[in-house]
Amino acid sequence: MKKYIVVIWLSLVMGLVSCDNYLDVVPKGEAVLNSTDDYLGLIEAANPKFSMTSFWYMANEVTYYKKAELESYLYPMYSIGFFWDESVDRYNYMVDGDIAELYSDCYSRIASYNVVVEHMNDAEGPDTDKKLGIAQAKIMRAYNYFFLVNTFAKPYKKETAATDMGIIIHKKFDLESESKQYTVKEVYEFIEQDIEEALADLPEQALNSYRPTKGFGYALQAKVRLYKGEIDLALESGLNALKSSYHKLWDMNEMYNEALATYPFLPTMPSMWMTAAKLEDSNPEHLLYQFGHTNTDPYPQYARKEMLDLYDKNNDLRYITCWGYYMPPRPTAETGAIMFGSTNVKWNPGGMRLSEVYLMIAECYARKDDKDNAMKYLNDLYRNRVFPGTAELTAADADEAFKLVREERKRELVLTYNGFFDMRRFCTEFNETLTKTYVNEAGETKTYSLRPDSPLLVWPFPQQAMETSNLVQNTK
């Protein structure tokens, strides 16, 4: 077999490419990619970090533990998002921070995946490894582009997607190529092509949860189709994802009983849930595990009371084991705000869990006016999250089923990227204006609104990206 050696800078291998067109790459060393094992390792070496705390403030999921600092804009992006403040140009703050970091991390990973897609067929090793590596690189490239287009461009809208400006796409690893910004429609087409080409060669079970499986591939395809409004196709993909022989829902009752066997005093000492509650990153609930800013995210984030009130606080194990309601309230925070208190629960903020597939299927059925199937899949998930004997969710018609699906998405997918992404797509589709109230330090009750055409629903490109490419800014 022909020996083909690709030499790339170690900074790329370590995921340090700092902007969309691969500039500012510092040659700190060299890494030789020769075997299929080398390329498979490059896929895993891509840093699985999706920094997104600002999403949670925008989606009205969290509050800061010091109201005075939130109101003084000590951390501007958190405050702008929390107060839905359109008066501030966020671009001025897009120098660093979580969303600027998210942008560079996604493009860094894409650069690695491009190397694999382009050159793995020339590596030394079995053809099965080559097919596997290319498929996993393509599906991960699609996922990162999906993340980028749903952060830095308008939500997909069939009527305008062909003219709405999207993001830069790099189809190959080329330091000399000129950056090109594609429309939202073109970005989605590229994502769908990558998914379609990857599906056949994705494994039923990957080496670990940081590498994508066939179940993840179908779940991502369902998600992309759902965001495009292709309900029948999204349902087909979602049902295909459930055919996985490996992935299964996390049974929180099983976790609860195991913890109780180890710590029989838990009912009288609920603070022990900090360590007793566990969801490993290897759990087959994870279709793909990708963490947030750190591997302990979302700890220690404080949820707003209106978010927490969505839970059945007596029976919902997500609330009982994860939210740390037993901890003393912070007098400097909003009344009723409590902290996510489980350091051993790998919440998977940046990846996908099988629970989301059930929610997507339930949503599709509700949209198809099939209330019974919508509630079936919704309750299949719900039963794994509440104590045995808890009353199941019920709906009188498909509209009510759809409402329940949206509420369950908020509970199950809180402190992931889905809260913000859902806000974008539902506001756009249903022309929804959101409102919320906040009691400030002075004791005044303030009301804030978010319009469906608000520029806040699209993040501005970071300053470095604007300075090193020919991007047209999408928002302020």
pLDDT tens-digit series, residues 332-356:
999 999 999 888 999 999 999 999 9
Does residue 25 carry a pLDDT above 50? no
Q: Which residue has the tokens 């022989």?
A: 245
Of 132-141, 144-153, 195-204, 328-337, the poorest mean pLDDT is in 328-337
Return the percent helix, strand and coil in the chain, to nearest 5.
Answer: 45, 10, 45
Alpha helices per DSSP H over 120-182: 127-152
- Global pTM exceeds 0.85: yes
Show the tokens assigned to 36.
């299929």
- How many angstroms separate the Cα of 404 from the Cα of each of 173, 225, 407? 44, 21, 5
Residues 6 or more apart whose Cβ sits within 8 Å of residue 239: 361
In this prediction, residue 341 carries a pLDDT of 85
The DSSP letter of residue 281 is T
pLDDT in tens, 224-274: 999 999 999 999 999 999 999 999 999 999 999 999 999 999 888 888 888
Confidence at residue 173, expressed as pLDDT on a 0 to 100 scale: 74
Residue recorded with tokens 């949670």: 56
- Specify the pLDDT at position 44: 85
Using pLDDT thresholds of 50, 70 and 90, give the confidence band for residue 327. Answer: confident
| Fold category of 6-51+98-244+459-467 in CATH | 1.25.40
Query: pLDDT: is 468 or 416 the higher one?
Result: 416
Of the listed ranges 30-44, 72-86, 207-221, 230-244, the one predicted with least confidence: 30-44
Tell me the average pLDDT of the chain: 92
Is residue 304 a contact partner of residue 60, using CB atoms and an 8 Å limit? yes
Q: What pLDDT is stored for residue 176 in this prediction?
A: 55
pLDDT score of 53: 97
> b or e along 4-30 (b: 16 or more beta carbons within 10 Å of the residue's beta carbon)?
eebebbebbbbbbbbbbbbeebeeeee
DSSP conformation class of 175? T
Backbone angles phi, psi at 131, to 5 degrees: -60, -45
Instruction: Identify the band that residue 1 occupies on the pLDDT scale cut at 50, 70 and 90.
Output: very low
Tell me the mean pLDDT in the region 65-94. Answer: 97
Q: Structural domain boundaries of the chain?
A: 6-51+98-244+459-467, 252-284+299-339
Check residue 268 and give its pLDDT. 86
Class of residue 267 by CB neighbours under 10 A (exposed 0-12, middle 13-18, buried 19+): exposed
Q: What is the mean pLDDT of residues 51-77?
A: 97
* pLDDT tens-place string over residues 266-307: 888 888 888 899 999 999 999 999 999 999 999 999 999 999
Report the distance separating Cα 223 and Cα 75, nearest Å.
32
